[in-house]
Amino acid sequence: MGTELLAPLDLAFWHLESDAHPMHLGALAVFAPAPGPARGANVSELLGSRAAAIPRLRMRVRDVLLPVGGAAWFVDKDFDVRRHIERVRLTGVESRDDDGFMAGATRLAGELMERPLERGLPPWQMYLVEGADGGPFAVLVKLHHALADGMRAVAIGAGIFDEIAPLAGRARGAVSPRRSRAVPPRSWMPGPRQVAGLALGRIEDLGRAFGVGASMVRASRLDLRGAPALTASSSGTRRLATADLDLAAVQRIRRAAEGTTNDVLLAVVAGALRRWMLERGEALPPEDPRALVPVSRRRPGQPAATGNKLSAYLLGLPVSEPDPWKRLRTVRTAMDRNKAAGPFRGAGAVAVLADQLPSLAHRFGAPIAGNAARMLFDVLVTSVPLPRSALSLGGCPLRAVYPMAPLARGQSLAVALSTYGGRVQVGLVADGKALPDLDRLAGCADDEVAHLLTLLPPP
């Protein structure tokens, strides 16, 4: 793998980062116990060998002369995987109790998510989190958003699992007969039809960008008063909380209400926020908080190393609506409207606009763009797809994966969801000082699903 320019959206994520707002994705993967006192050393060595075999993880970012303001991925000639794998022993976890381990692991993961990745190295890190001998363990993975969007992060991270790593290795070493066929030489000069096609495509891209920009201006809010906890000043600290929702229960609600599983989960987030605000004694905000809901623009079969391919929808989370079923219908109607318009339209498609900006604009405009995020949305709510098959690491079954999203400037909460093993795992990342009661918000998500179940007609 040689030099590769950062795609415009990747470059935007690279320059959006600051010490108080690191731009890395994360995931806390929790595994069943492994036998033997040397478990930690063995797992750490296994993580290192498998991560080192993933070419993308050996790349780092360097500035380039052209395009002006641009950057590119280069193979790190001094790559040492040991710089990226760290073993951490939880303190105060004396027993093999799962609840005690999870409490310690989530607390530690929140603290580790505060740390920006070192920019002179390939931008990723893994932490092996250990508790009591013979108890569960976890792996915290951090990948810079310039390196991966949600789908690409899953593709990269999957290479560490037992079931996928051997297949990935064989795929890298195998030579496909179809790919070995001779390809007729082509002129480097584009033909007239290609020139016309490129020009037409560029005009369409610029027109789409203009439409998105106009939508953003119309959707921007000059009055930034919202839910106080969601718009608190940044302290640079991070807190993590997790929730486990019963996927079968979510599917029962979906069948009764129609729509999609994601519609139900977005409504659960809205209901959980409402419960949490009322329990805190907070007045509900005068305007429902807006969620930015990322959607992938990656086509099936598209190579994973082609840069971030994202757009997003804007969704008002109906926290002011007291009726859970009306909340769900409101979410479903709004998401249907978003999908009908498509991922290339509306103010939520800000990532599409970023794809049309020159490199220099990203380098100098990132601070302005970061501060403007609060004018568009209050909270990020994203779903991360995971493989459906059962996974393991060093023979230890994977129990759960809690995804984590970065916080934008001016926002205190990001919600990420994934489905694995018949559960919906929810990762809540928050500013540690703005939301000290984040665990209660996680509990409210479970309460909301339970309440929706009580409202279902008998089977």
pLDDT tens for residues 100-139? 889 999 999 999 999 999 999 999 999 999 988 778 999 9
Q: Where are the extended beta strands (E) located within 280-406? A: 290-296, 310-316, 379-384, 392-393, 396-404
Which has more pLDDT, 327 or 148? 327
Terminal alpha carbon distance of the chain: 56
Q: Provide the pLDDT confidence category of residue 142 given band limits of 50, 70 and 90.
A: very high
3-state secondary structure 101-144: HHHHHHHHHHHHHCCCCCCCCCCEEEEEEECCCCCCEEEEEEEE
- Mean pLDDT score across all residues of the chain: 80
Distance CA 47, CA 39 (A): 12
Q: Provide the pLDDT confidence category of residue 210 given band limits of 50, 70 and 90.
A: very low
Distances (CA, A) of 33 to 100, 398, 418: 14, 10, 22
How is residue 428 written in tokens?
């809540």
Helical H segments across 392-437, by residue range: none
Is the pLDDT assigned to residue 185 strictly greater than 60? no
> What pTM did the predictor assign?
0.85
pLDDT tens, position by position, 277-310: 999 988 888 889 999 898 876 665 555 555 666 7
Least confident span in 17-21, 201-205, 306-310, 446-450: 201-205
Rounded (10°) CA dihedral 292, 112, 403, 36 = 180
Is the pLDDT assigned to residue 95 strictly greater than 60? no
